[in-house]
Amino acid sequence: MSRDHSFTRCPIDPGNFSSRNSDDEDETESKPSSMSYKERRREAHTQAEQKRRDAIKKGFDTLQELVPACKQTDVSGYKLCKANVLQKSIDYIQYLELQKKKQEEERNALRREVVALRIMQTNYEQIVKAQQTQPGHTETRISDEVKFSVLQAIMEHLFFTFSNISVSNFSELSAGVFGWLEEYCKPQTLKETLVQVLRRHNTYIRTQPPKK
DNA sequence: ACTAGTTCTCGGGACTGGGG
DNA sequence: CCCCAGTCCCGAGAACTAGT
């Protein structure tokens, strides 16, 4: 069985175990003043184990500080067991991943909205420009009533087309709006709609008797 | 007293890097 | 290439502690 040893090892301390061969004879503890090779090796091993346990403990302590559900809730020094710290850390990471996903979806939806609004802005600007460059265009005073009536006719037409969009869920609505924008909010289509509405109003206004 | 969790020590397997 | 020191990791068992 081979294990993955991708960790980084600490540099070797030349002060330890520098004369292993010369100490081999000490294993019978014939010299009480100096430790035998076995004893020194055992002591070094104990220290290394202590160091390893400290590192593990430090890691758990850090997790307990970082994960809100693991933080101490009272002054009695309450501490979660390691298994709970691990489980709560896992839960917290999963929660953070979910939050990240939600925020990314929200950001994408907002970006789509920005694109749609820019398309609409461009359309309106082109309509205004086209109207201003029409031959015979004169600045005449239009009443608020007529303006409202024109706007209402345009919006009614748009709403009629918009009402065909499927709204069973958000993604369908989202896709439907894009399709609707591309089909019914094209500059040319809007221009045609506007022309129709204005023609109708022009005819209607001419046939109306002047108000007294 | 019992139980569960933690800490510590010890022994041992496995791996790495340097030296002969 | 082999040996060895140093290191890491793991399991077992003992000791300790805190809660019930």
Query: Are the C-beta atoms of residues A65 and A57 closer than 8 Å to each other?
Result: no
Residue A150: helix, strand or coil by DSSP? helix
Distance A25 CA to C18 C1' (A): 47
Nucleotides of C under 7 A from a protein CB: 4-11, 19
pLDDT (tens digit, 9 = 90+) per residue, A190-199? 888 888 888 7
Mean pLDDT over the full length of chain A: 70
Q: What angle do CA A208, A209, A212 make, to 5 degrees?
A: 130
Distance A20 CA to B19 C1' (A): 14
Is the CB of A212 within 7 Å of strand B? no
Nucleotide nearest to A21 (CA to C1'): C4
Which pTM value belongs to this model?
A: 0.50
Confidence class of residue A6 from pLDDT cuts 50, 70 and 90?
very low
pLDDT (tens digit, 9 = 90+) per residue, A87-105? 777 788 889 999 999 999 9
Query: Are the C-beta atoms of residues A41 and A24 closer than 8 Å to each other?
Result: no
Paired tokens of A29: 């503890």
Q: Classify burial at A190, counting beta carbons within 10 Å of its beta carbon; exposed 0-12, middle 13-18, buried 19 or more.
A: buried
Distance A16 CA to C18 C1' (A): 40
Is the CB of A56 within 7 Å of strand C? no
Residue at minimal CA–C1' distance from B11? A42
- C-alpha torsion A22→A26→A30→A34, nearest 10: 80
Distance A100 CA to B14 C1' (A): 41
Q: Classify burial at A37, counting beta carbons within 10 Å of its beta carbon; exposed 0-12, middle 13-18, buried 19 or more.
A: middle
Q: Distance between CA A21 and CA A26 in Å, rounded?
A: 10
Q: Which of residues 8-47 of A touch strand C (CB under 7 A)?
A: 9-14, 16-18, 20-21, 44-45
Nucleotide nearest to A19 (CA to C1'): C5
Q: Distance between CA A5 and CA A22 in Å, rounded?
A: 31
Is the CB of A55 within 7 Å of strand B? no
Residue A208: is its pLDDT beyond 70? no
Residue A134 pLDDT: 79
Distance A21 CA to C1 C1' (A): 21
Cβ neighbours of A70 (radius 10 Å)? 22
